[in-house]
Amino acid sequence: MQAYTVIAPEKGVIDIKAQDLPPLGHGQVLFANRFSAISPGTELAFLHDLPNTSGQFPRQTGYSSCGTIIAVGDGVEGLEPGQRVVCRCRHTSHAVIDAQSCLPVPESVPDVDAAVYRLGSIALQGIRKAQIQLGWEVAVLGLGPIGNLAGQLARAAGATEVAGIDPVDWRRELALDCGFDRVTGSADNWMDRHSFQSVIEATGAPDVIPLAFQLAARQGHVVLLASSRGETHDVNFYRDVHKKGLTIFGAHESIRAGVEDHLSFMTHRTDDETVLKLLAGGRIQTGPLVSDVVSFEEAADAYERLQKRDEPLMTIVFRWL
């Protein structure tokens, strides 16, 4: 059987290739994709070989899909053909994957919303590491998909005020629609009159990190959630970190518990399951973050649209059926 897969054969280029699938093995399932969501920050960074990416090509893209199981291998329990699931699958029409990476989708969660689940899980592991307490005030720097979800999750974790900072008008308006309490286009408006117990850096811009330190309250928590694309210079660690007693959390997606949850470090599966439960319960929402749904055949155009940033686009979802 062949699968159609979105591939970056070289820097800045997107193509679609037909690939033969391996036979179904023990503990594996054959997955048919319905929808897969682009993670704009990560995928565009790797596509254009930005700092702190691997620079390796060709490479497959994507890691957040919703689809259907069409066959199961020996030793698979709890999953069956026809079942709707999410999985950490590439942008591909079909895939043979480990059954353990699949999670059933709650009936109340639409396919397209479920396809964005991994972006929620990425934001969630950062919010867990922030150790937000009931009553805390939280600031989120950058209101793209990850920042927006981080703010929603901070509220779900008990923050009584969630504030967002982003220079783009429509992203600020969307954040308010998704439950942020207040937003601003410039942190200068809050520098002298507000300090936050937790600050979530979700831009990936190296020059923004000192601002996160400055906005944090004494003994506050700063979470570096977005992957920085370069080096940060001119940080006065004595003034902005040491003397304030800040705790800085590196919250890269890869820093998780391996096989068992431990304190604020949870496994992929636990965070993925939590996001699905929060979606089903209406505690967070991913639907407003889906700006367009297009055929996988329009993949190259979709990445170009996201890169140009001349449209109000949060993320684009590929339709595979």
Same domain, 93 and 131: no
User: Would 262 be classed as within a structural domain?
Assistant: no
Same domain, 149 and 77: no
Domain, as residue range, for 191? 119-250
Residue 307's CATH number: 3.90.180.10
- Angle at CA 12, nearest 5°, toward 8 and 14? 40
* Structural domain contains residue 78: yes
Statement to judge: residues 156 and 196 lie in one domain: yes
Distances in whole angstroms, Cα of residue 150 to Cα of each of 26, 63, 142, 285, 319: 37, 19, 10, 11, 26
Peptide bond before 9: cis, by omega within 30 degrees of 0?
no
CATH number at residue 244: 3.40.50.720
**Phi and psi at residue 195, to the nearest 5°:** -130, 140
Q: Is residue 90 part of a domain?
A: yes
139 plus 39 within the same structural domain: no
The tally of domains found in the chain comes to 2
- Contact 124/295 with Cβ under 8 angstroms? no
Residue 209 belongs to some domain of the structure: yes
Same domain, 47 and 77: yes
Contacts of 128 (CB under 8 A, 6+ apart): 264, 265, 266, 271
56 within domain boundaries: yes
245 and 127 inside one domain: yes
Residues 204 and 238 in one domain: yes
Last-in-domain residue among 228, 250, 272: 250
Which residues, listed in sequence order, are joined to residue 249 by a DSSP beta bridge?
223
Strands (E), the chain: 2-8, 15-20, 28-37, 59-60, 65-72, 84-87, 94-98, 103-104, 137-141, 161-165, 182-184, 196-201, 216-224, 247-250, 290-295, 315-319
For residues 93 and 152, membership in a common domain is answered with: no
44 plus 155 within the same structural domain:
no
**Residue 258 falls within a domain, yes or no?**
no
Closest CA to 147 of 188, 204, 185: 204
* Same-domain status, 199 and 300: no
Per-residue pLDDT of the chain (321 residues; tens, 9 = 90+): 899 999 999 999 999 999 999 999 999 999 999 999 999 999 999 999 999 999 999 999 999 999 999 999 999 999 999 999 999 999 999 999 999 999 999 999 999 999 999 999 999 999 999 999 999 999 999 999 999 999 999 999 999 999 999 999 999 999 999 999 999 999 887 876 678 999 999 999 999 999 999 999 999 999 999 999 999 998 999 999 999 999 999 999 888 988 898 888 899 999 999 999 999 999 999 999 999 999 999 999 999 999 999 999 999 999 998
280 domain-assigned? no
- Final residue in a domain of this structure, among 250, 275, 297: 250
pTM for the full predicted model? 0.95
In this prediction, residue 192 carries a pLDDT of 67
Looking at the fold, whether 149 and 89 belong to one and the same domain comes out as: no
Residue 154 lies in a domain: yes
Residues 22 and 61 placed together within one structural domain of the fold: yes
- The CA distance from 140 to 202, in Å, is 7
Question: Looking at 250, 275, 296, which one is the last position of a domain?
Answer: 250
